[in-house]
Amino acid sequence: MSATLFSPIEIRGVRLKNRVVVSPMWQYSGVDGRPTQTHTVHYGRLAEGGAGLVLQEGTTVTRSGRGTLGDLGIWDDSMVPLYSRLVDVVKAGGAVPGIQLIHAGRKGRRNPPWSAHTPRPAASDDWRVLGPSAVPIGVEEFSTPVEMSLGDIEDTVTAFANAARRADEAGYEVLDLQAAHGYLIHSFLSPLTNRRTDRYGGSTENRFRFLVEIIDRIRATWPAGKALFVRLSCVDVEWTIDQSVELVRELGTHGVDVIDCSSGGITGLPFPGAKADYGYQVPYAEEIRSRTGSRTMAVGHIVHATQAQAIVENGQADLVALGRELLHNPHWPLDAARKLGLPDPYAQAPTRISYWLRKREKSFPGFTPSTEGSGLW
């Protein structure tokens, strides 16, 4: 029997009640890397909406790794209790808490997207823009990075490992490593941005090395029973799906459980020529899954219940991640469960919510939801 959108899945020791994932979405609302009440509200309502997994926005592993002043960070042990509270909020909403770890690299020291053309934050000793090589993105809002020394690389690998330890202590059960979209790890993978001549540059094996070392160090501290995802830009400028397949096969031997399949970003823009239509990145998840045997997560303009159901049921991906659609309707999973005809769609929500929704349903016995769209009934 094929999997369905609302069938459970176990990844290592982590059980998700369904295949719907909240994609990491930046809120630009942190204060010195720390979460605020905005984050409590944001993640609480998304968890209550019925998703199986809620992935926290990209959370930086060093102060210097921030993209903007409002980025979250987990670079200090004193931050752990703050994130434990967010974990509790997500669990109370009925979802599994996950976190994405990131170093912004060449995309560091910027303003929020709606303020892109205002002066950038000032450079400082604790906010250097770093990269594998001093190759600028070529867009006004980005700074030219400083080429990382071997000491910088070792410090950053250690910072990812320490961030994973803190994430475990805070109670997160899934870790998603951001290695896409032009951020630091991605810039080591790409020959366009990695011009190094040492063991971290040149050959494919060398360009993979930074990511592999980070994964190995994370796996040394991240419990064996917890899941590890890696987000990749599966295609990009000077990067093909064949190279991604090669990389994913390597990552599978280092304890990676799911590939989060995206695209583009190395030039600061989406993949050139990509038409951002419904599910436009799903074929990458499907090909990675079929050619490597790895579990995959599909992202990118997944909007309708029937669309998401078909992705899972047809074996194109094991999970589907939604972003802006959930900002539009945080209760999309409940809506989708109803539209797909689940006997008890409200079971995806906490009992304090599902009880009243079932009672409401009985008040309208002849009501049938639309089978298309994803807004309100």
Residues known to be catalytic = 183
- Contacting residues for 49 by C-beta, under 8 A, at least 6 apart: 93, 326, 329, 330, 331, 332, 333, 334, 349
Classified as helix, coil or strand, 365 is coil
What is the Cα–Cα distance from 315 to 289, expressed in whole angstroms?
A: 9
Q: Is 29 exposed, middle or buried (0-12, 13-18, 19+ CB in 10 A)?
A: middle
Q: Is 180 exposed, middle or buried (0-12, 13-18, 19+ CB in 10 A)?
A: buried
Return the structure tokens found at 4.
């369905």
CB 300 within 8 A of CB 282: yes
What is the Cα–Cα distance from 30 to 336, expressed in whole angstroms?
A: 32
- Rounded to the nearest 5 degrees, what angle is found at the Cα of 148, between the Cα atoms of 143 and 153? 130
Return the structure tokens found at 32.
């010195």
Conformational region of residue 299, where left means phi above 0, alpha means psi within -120 to 50, and beta covers everything else? beta
β-strand partners of 239: 236
